[in-house]
């Protein structure tokens, strides 16, 4: 794993902790070069598959709802609202607790699309590691 900030390979793990259901692990990382700290999460591949399938279905549903104009535009936030750190942390926590996406979207007042995009982004940035 490389440092997110300076891309150095000199990264240490501060601590590892099993999350609630015991099938995922959270690690605190620190860069030995620039001191950047962040967390990574590891989860089983089956869980990722589970979410990807749900995500696809919800996305289709959302597209359908928008097309048939019964869609009320989620419950609040406008499209493209920036994610705060606490929202991101909540998303990650709920994701690892295997909460249904519908509930995650409701709890964060965001659309499935928005949740989906954020999870893809987190994955790309190495915040969600698949083991
Ligand atoms: Zn660094």
User: Could you read off the pLDDT of 15-43 as tens digits, one per residue?
Assistant: 998 876 667 888 999 999 999 999 888 88
Nearest to 110 by CA among 128, 88, 85, 129: 88
Q: Provide the residues around ligand 1 (an ion) whose CB is within 5 A.
A: 3, 5-6, 8, 31, 33-34, 36
Ligand 1 centre distance from Cα of residue 25 (Å): 22
Residue whose pair of structure tokens reads 């920036």 in the numeric block: 82
CA 111 – CA 7 distance, rounded (Å): 33
Backbone phi, then psi, for 78, in 5-degree steps?
Answer: -70, 160
Averaged over 116-129, what is the pLDDT? 84
Alpha carbon dihedral 121, 112, 69, 61, in 10-degree steps, equals 110
Q: Where are the beta strands (DSSP E) in 36-108?
A: 37-43
Q: Is the pLDDT of residue 123 over 80?
A: yes
pLDDT band at 131 (very low <50, low <70, confident <90, very high): low
CA-CA-CA-CA torsion sign (42, 47, 53, 59): negative
Residue 70 has a pLDDT of: 47
Residue 10 has a pLDDT of: 95
Ligand 1 centre distance from Cα of residue 28 (Å): 14
Give 55-91 pLDDT, tens digit per residue: 888 877 777 777 665 444 444 444 567 899 899 989 9
| Residue-range domain boundaries for the chain | 11-130
Residue 130 has a pLDDT of: 63
Residue 69 has a pLDDT of: 52
Residue 80 has a pLDDT of: 65
């Amino acid at each position: 794993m490389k440092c997110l900030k300076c891309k150095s390979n000199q990264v240490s793990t501060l601590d590892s902790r099993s999350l609630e259901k015991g099938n995922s692990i959270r690690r605190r990382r620190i860069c030995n070069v620039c001191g950047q700290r962040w967390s990574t999460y590891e989860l089983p591949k089956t869980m990722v598959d589970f979410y990807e399938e749900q995500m696809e279905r919800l996305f289709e549903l959302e597209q359908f709802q928008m097309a048939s104009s019964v869609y009320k535009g989620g419950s609040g936030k406008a499209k493209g609202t920036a994610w705060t750190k606490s929202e991101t942390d909540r998303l990650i926590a709920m994701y690892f607790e295997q909460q249904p996406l519908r509930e995650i979207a409701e709890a964060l007042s965001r659309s499935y699309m928005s949740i989906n995009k954020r999870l893809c982004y987190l994955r790309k940035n190495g915040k969600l590691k698949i083991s």
